[in-house]
Amino acid sequence: MSYSSVFKPELLTNTVMVVTGGGSGIGRCCAHELSALGAHVVLIGRKEEKLQKVQSEIIEDGGSADYWVCDIREEESVKATVKAIKEKHGVIHGLLNNAGGQYPSPLAAINQKGFETVVRTNLVGGFLFAREVYNQSMVKTGGSIVNIIADMWGGMPGMGHSGAARAGMENFTKTAAFEWGQSGVRVNAIAPGWIISSGMDTYEGAFKAIIPKLEQAVPLSRMGTESEVSSAVTFLLSEGSAFISGATLRIDGAASLGNRMWPLPKAKNNTPYNGFHRAVMPDVLKEHEKQEA
């Protein structure tokens, strides 16, 4: 089996695409699609075992990939990693700033260390990697950068630290698009809503119990697939989006729109797209399906 992309197979031939957080979830899926379309994928993450597994999957599927272990929150590590990638591959055509993470907590219970850690992960790290890719490669050759943020337009109750960081990343996206456009560099953002991904299994307790019910707040009456995020990322990294920069694309089934005063009837005529042949259902949703059966 291979990735069933909606794009032509040779779309990204002879390109080098860097994916941070490429060892799991949305990053893993995007890495597979980019590879299936001809790109050499460079996986970035903190856990070598995960990166090795995804690299092996891509090679097994006939693609090309290598990886670097890097903590995107550490400036010197980012500088050295981007330098090594540039020296090995010569040029970086695209960057998917996907790495991130957070934990559920009301604002009143978040201490300074916790707040700063989430901001460093979801904002500072993305800035550092984008800056180094620009300074060390794209300033001379152009390229495309896609930042993954989140649905935070109504605030992020229960994850205020992440909401603040993601909002900052959207503003950074706009500023970078303006400043780096002179070099032929496009910078855009993707804002996924509730996506069926392995990340759902990182939550426990009350938040875990909410996950199977999230689709009830989506006008399309379902959660999204990793492939539905990946196809948008792929488009923004491709030449087809050559005049799009500074934009944020929401992939949330319209969940970020409307208000509680308008009821949501059950939607119909809505079939998910899932091109990822290695997609795995999170345990939390498997358990819910068993209970419903």
Residue among 72, 121, 96, 87 nearest 189 (CA):
96
**Whether the predicted pLDDT of 188 surpasses 90:** yes
Other CB atoms within a 10 A radius of the CB of residue 158 amount to 16
> Of 36-50, 161-175, 279-293, which range is least confident?
279-293
**Whether the predicted pLDDT of 260 surpasses 80:** no
**Whether the predicted pLDDT of 278 surpasses 90:** no
With 0-12 / 13-18 / 19 or more C-beta atoms within 10 angstroms meaning exposed / middle / buried, residue 170 is: middle
- Provide the pLDDT for residue 26: 95
Stretch 234-248: mean pLDDT: 98
- Provide the pLDDT for residue 288: 62
Distances from the Cα of 202 to the Cαs of 185, 216, 275, in angstroms? 35, 21, 24
Give the C-alpha separation, 30 to 58, whole Å: 11
**Which sequence spans correspond to the domains of the chain?**
16-292
* Strand stretches in the chain, DSSP E: 16-20, 40-45, 64-69, 94-97, 143-148, 185-192, 195-196, 224-225, 248-251
Stretch 210-218: mean pLDDT: 85
Give the C-alpha separation, 118 to 103, whole Å: 8
What confidence tens digit (pLDDT) does each residue in 101-113 have? 888 899 999 999 9
> Of 13-17, 85-89, 126-130, 283-287, which range is least confident?
283-287
Contact 129, 72 (CB under 8 A): yes
**Whether the predicted pLDDT of 140 surpasses 70:** yes
- 3-state class (DSSP) for residue 30: helix
Cβ-based neighbours of 65, under 8 Å, separated by 6 or more: 31, 35, 40, 41, 42, 43, 54, 55, 58, 59
**Whole-prediction pTM:** 0.90
The gap from C-alpha 148 to its chain's centroid, in whole angstroms, comes to: 4
pLDDT bracket for residue 292 (50, 70, 90): low
> Of 128-132, 251-255, 280-284, which range is least confident?
280-284
- Provide the pLDDT for residue 199: 75
**Whether the predicted pLDDT of 11 surpasses 60:** yes
Residue among 100, 230, 249, 74 nearest 163 (CA):
100
- Provide the pLDDT for residue 261: 65
Assigned architecture for domain 16-292: 3-Layer(aba) Sandwich (3.40)
- Provide the pLDDT for residue 291: 66
- Provide the pLDDT for residue 41: 98
